[in-house]
Homo-oligomer: A and B are copies of this chain.
Amino acid sequence: MSHAHPRLSLNQATIKYASFDEALALTADAGIRSIGLWREPVAEVGLAQAATRLTASGLRFSSLCRAGFFTAPEGPERRRAIDDNRRAIEETVTLAAAGADGSAAVLVLVAGALPEGSKDLAGARSRVQDAIAELVPDAIAAGVTLGVEPLHPLFAADRAVVSTLGQALDIAEQFPAEAVGAIVDTYHIWWDPQVLNQIARAAAGRRIASYQVCDWLTPLPADVLLGRGQPGEGHIDFAPMTRAVLDGGYTGDIEVEIFNQAIWDAPAAETVRRTIDAFAAAVPVDPAVAALAAADVEAPAVGVPALQV
């Protein structure tokens, strides 16, 4: 078994069936130093309790999943979405403050689907930008970065109308970089002929709010949401995108976020171990960090709170 890379963050969705406490414990015990959290399990234990337990774990916090869902036209549904995003910004502040040093105050935004019965993709996309414009003052006041996540074009109709990193950056660049960035997730963007240029653009503008990795498996399962694999199990070459992210100056955590029924059904501790190994084998970090990781043999043994880098 590899040592966990110091920049690896386990996104909680990868061990979906673990409780909040189990997720923290399994992550820290395996020597992983950071965790990405989801709002539903945080709400289940309560935000204040979640923050307390996160602090006790010694883990960094790398992002909160997820808010957004901005495509409804003006009306009560849209107002509820905006209000929910404001609550999510506050949750992000609390969790980032509770995480260990180096925690990121990043809130992941999923754009939302075409409204029921609508075919106005351009209109839906423009409403996403309008909603973010409403939230930017809150984000700035709170010190939170909104991470606009392009989702694979597979999901353009029924999940997220932001479909490419270039499009996410076109939105983000309307606002200050500290307030709005993009989520660079290999699963969603690996196919894009422009992906390396767009990562370079994102990095140059300090717009990479988070870097997330998982693999593209074929064939897609019947539930097309669940076609993700551990890095190395599928078709993605993680080297060029990772190099572009790191060479561009991204210094944050790298999350592994996997939706996969077989992985969810496996014992969570096994999934955590497999994630550490898969990440080490398939996601090449820059030479400096690689050297740091190699020198890391004296670093936390299992069960010891993680050191910070």
Contacts from A to B (Cβ < 8 Å): 114, 119-122, 125, 152-154, 156-158, 163-164, 166-167, 170, 190-194, 216, 218-220, 222, 224, 234-237, 240
Q: Are A193 and B164 in contact (CB under 8 A)?
A: yes
Q: Are A220 and B224 in contact (CB under 8 A)?
A: yes
Q: Are A154 and B157 in contact (CB under 8 A)?
A: no
- Complex formed: what's the CA distance from A9 to B122 in Å? 28
Q: Which residues of B contact A114 (CB under 8 A)?
A: 235
The 8 Å CB contact of A193, one of B119, B167, B224, is: B167
29 contacts between A and B (CB under 8 A): A114-B235, A119-B235, A119-B237, A120-B237, A121-B191, A121-B237, A122-B240, A125-B193, A152-B153, A153-B153, A153-B191, A153-B192, A154-B154, A154-B220, A156-B190, A156-B191, A157-B235, A158-B235, A163-B191, A163-B192, A163-B193, A164-B192, A166-B194, A167-B193, A219-B224, A220-B220, A220-B224, A222-B222, A224-B224
**How far, in Å, is A128 (CB) from chain B's closest CB?**
11
* Copies per assembly: 2
Most chain B beta-carbon neighbours within 10 Å: one of A157, A164, A236, A240? A157
Q: Are B218 and A158 in contact (CB under 8 A)?
A: yes
Q: Are A157 and B216 in contact (CB under 8 A)?
A: yes
Chain B residue at minimal CB-CB distance from A158: B218
- Complex formed: what's the CA distance from A288 to B170 in Å? 36
**How far, in Å, is A187 (CB) from chain B's closest CB?**
11
Chain B residue at minimal CB-CB distance from A117: B235
**How far, in Å, is A240 (CB) from chain B's closest CB?**
8
**How far, in Å, is A157 (CB) from chain B's closest CB?**
4
- Complex formed: what's the CA distance from A192 to B162 in Å? 9
**How far, in Å, is A171 (CB) from chain B's closest CB?**
10
- Complex formed: what's the CA distance from A114 to B237 in Å? 12
- Complex formed: what's the CA distance from A220 to B219 in Å? 13
- Complex formed: what's the CA distance from A154 to B167 in Å? 18
Chain B residue at minimal CB-CB distance from A221: B222
**How far, in Å, is A78 (CB) from chain B's closest CB?**
20
**How far, in Å, is A238 (CB) from chain B's closest CB?**
9
Chain B residue at minimal CB-CB distance from A167: B193
Q: Which residues of B contact A157 (CB under 8 A)?
A: 191, 216, 218, 234-235
Q: Which residues of B contact A154 (CB under 8 A)?
A: 152-154, 220
The 8 Å CB contact of A119, one of B121, B163, B164, B236, is: B236
Chain B residue at minimal CB-CB distance from A150: B193
**How far, in Å, is A75 (CB) from chain B's closest CB?**
21
Chain B residue at minimal CB-CB distance from A223: B219
**How far, in Å, is A9 (CB) from chain B's closest CB?**
23
Most chain B beta-carbon neighbours within 10 Å: one of A152, A158, A235? A235
Q: Which residues of B contact A192 (CB under 8 A)?
A: 153, 163-164
Q: Which residues of B contact A193 (CB under 8 A)?
A: 125, 163-164, 166-167, 170
- Complex formed: what's the CA distance from A240 to B121 in Å? 11
